[in-house]
Chains A and B, each alone.
Chain A
């Protein structure tokens, strides 16, 4: 048997998949720029994607900030540089960890939920029913989720940044013997607008990825409960990978000197 045949077939399937995803993305964007937009659905999704993600995002940011402070202190200690904790915490949180941690948490929560919901609508013919009622499913289901995710993520990340810095502050002042006033002053002096803004650009991109992968996998799910389960897994895995890849690309673009 020819070993190149299966490899070639897999490669073409992969290309076809990329093509389908591109088509889907173009369609979704074309519906965002063409009115009408279902604003009530956008509002509902803002609550589900943004508001209800606050607890998980806040908690993970807090612990991440705390652990970061601890590590920098221990690492810096070796060179007598432990005073640098506030500066590195705020840099690390705003540039990288805030957006990435929030992105991954929301990917797990939201893109899974979107894929499961839209996937169920697909396999129970609800999406076909929308079409027959002259309502475009992309406009009605995908656009509100994309818009809401792109709006929610920067807000969530801004909150995650604050809570992450606060987590570092709590650990530094409670267990590492930093004085609160000096810690805050160092944080504020060192923090740069570009660092925060770059994190918010990342956040918006991640929001788009999360909603897109949830919707795309849901829309293309096939064959009952098992198909919906597979779509949900694929949505989380693909959005997480894409977030990390996009994060690298954005970091190298935004901080290119």
Chain B
């Protein structure tokens, strides 16, 4: 079976700072993979590299078996049409109303008419728990958690084959977080989408993941089925999932 996404030896540095130091990762079709890891370890950089927002310094990236590491222009657009992306910061277009944000990919990328696109947008907003009354608001009139959910609606609007969620539940209350987790689970189950999510929220990770991978010091140091996460035998993973200050992972803070 061809993996949906494969990273081989991907490296990325910013100036002298090495962020990714040879990432090997496979996401299979219909699978939900969750990446965990400390703040600033390069989780967002990893998915931005797959999308081509950042160019890796070394290594290869495959989507559906096609190497896309250095694809740009029209070829990149064709690859990107398979993807939906929720940014950590939501990254809504503040010059457009909420519904046009959600419908953007449909109108610009796929030539759907504005009226039909608006209906789809309102349906997607309902799935993330937002009523039709927010459709005409500007993103700056929404709370942080609401913006995140609009970003989520935008990511799933075109029913993409692959969806990246960068911290989908950060900033949401526990109940809404659970609704979003169920939404992600259902998108994978019903639509057959492949998802790659980043989270710090272990409750969310356990609910949405088929497999979990842990990123530490630029490498994937452990990956396995979600059921194995408590018996990984890896002290880094143990420290992370139990949120202990003491352990092999040293946070760079000066006491």
- Which of B53, B93, B95 sits near A132, CB closer than 8 Å? B53
Query: How many angstroms between the C-alpha atoms of A124 and B83 in the bound complex?
Result: 20
- Which of B52, B78, B94, B109 sits near A133, CB closer than 8 Å? B109
Grouping DSSP codes into helix (H, G, I), strand (E, B) and loop, the B interface class, with mixed when no group exceeds half, is: mixed
- Which of A117, A120, A134 sits near B80, CB closer than 8 Å? A134
Q: Establish whether residues B87 and A125, one from each chain, have CB atoms under 8 Å apart when the complex forms.
A: yes
- Which of B77, B91, B109 sits near A129, CB closer than 8 Å? B91
- Which of B53, B81, B83, B93 sits near A126, CB closer than 8 Å? B93
Which residues of chain B are within 8 angstroms of A128 by Cβ–Cβ distance?
48, 51, 53, 87, 91
Q: Count the B residues whose beta carbon is within 8 Å of the partner chain — how many?
A: 23
In the complex, what's the smallest C-beta–C-beta distance from A214 to chain B, in angstroms?
A: 15
In the complex, what's the smallest C-beta–C-beta distance from B100 to chain A, in angstroms?
A: 12
A131 close to B (CB within 8 Å): yes
Q: Establish whether residues A135 and B91, one from each chain, have CB atoms under 8 Å apart when the complex forms.
A: no
A179 close to B (CB within 8 Å): no
Which residues of chain A are within 8 angstroms of B92 by Cβ–Cβ distance?
126, 129
- Which of A117, A132, A135 sits near B85, CB closer than 8 Å? A132
Q: Establish whether residues B109 and A135, one from each chain, have CB atoms under 8 Å apart when the complex forms.
A: yes
Given A125-B91, A126-B91, A132-B83 contact (CB < 8 Å) = yes
B89 close to A (CB within 8 Å): yes
In the complex, what's the smallest C-beta–C-beta distance from A49 to chain B, in angstroms?
A: 15
**Which residues of B146-185 have CB atoms within 8 Å of chain A's CB atoms?**
154
B105 close to A (CB within 8 Å): yes
The residue in chain A whose Cβ has the minimal distance to the Cβ of B87 is A125
In the complex, what's the smallest C-beta–C-beta distance from B224 to chain A, in angstroms?
A: 29
Query: How many angstroms between the C-alpha atoms of A250 and B89 in the bound complex?
Result: 46
Q: Establish whether residues B81 and A134, one from each chain, have CB atoms under 8 Å apart when the complex forms.
A: yes
Q: Establish whether residues B48 and A126, one from each chain, have CB atoms under 8 Å apart when the complex forms.
A: no
In the complex, what's the smallest C-beta–C-beta distance from B253 to chain A, in angstroms?
A: 23
In the complex, what's the smallest C-beta–C-beta distance from B9 to chain A, in angstroms?
A: 24
- Which of A120, A131, A135, A140 sits near B51, CB closer than 8 Å? A131
Among A120, A131, A132, the most chain B Cβ lie within 10 Å of the Cβ of A132
Query: How many angstroms between the C-alpha atoms of A140 and B80 in the bound complex?
Result: 16
Q: Establish whether residues B80 and A129, one from each chain, have CB atoms under 8 Å apart when the complex forms.
A: no
Query: How many angstroms between the C-alpha atoms of A125 and B53 in the bound complex?
Result: 10
In the complex, what's the smallest C-beta–C-beta distance from B176 to chain A, in angstroms?
A: 22
Query: How many angstroms between the C-alpha atoms of A121 and B96 in the bound complex?
Result: 12
Q: Establish whether residues B108 and A135, one from each chain, have CB atoms under 8 Å apart when the complex forms.
A: yes
**Which residues of A71-129 have CB atoms within 8 Å of chain B's CB atoms?**
117, 120-121, 124-126, 128-129
A174 close to B (CB within 8 Å): no
B99 close to A (CB within 8 Å): no
A25 close to B (CB within 8 Å): no
Q: Establish whether residues A129 and B85, one from each chain, have CB atoms under 8 Å apart when the complex forms.
A: yes
A17 close to B (CB within 8 Å): no
Among B83, B84, B108, B109, the most chain A Cβ lie within 10 Å of the Cβ of B108
B216 close to A (CB within 8 Å): no
- Which of B53, B77, B91, B94 sits near A136, CB closer than 8 Å? B77
Q: Establish whether residues A124 and B91, one from each chain, have CB atoms under 8 Å apart when the complex forms.
A: yes
In the complex, what's the smallest C-beta–C-beta distance from A118 to chain B, in angstroms?
A: 11
Q: A-contacting residues of B (Cβ < 8 Å)?
A: 48, 51-53, 77-78, 80-81, 83-85, 87, 89, 91-95, 104-105, 108-109, 154
| 5 tightest A-B CB contacts, nearest first | A125-B91, A129-B91, A133-B105, A134-B109, A132-B85
Q: B-contacting residues of A (Cβ < 8 Å)?
A: 117, 120-121, 124-126, 128-136, 140
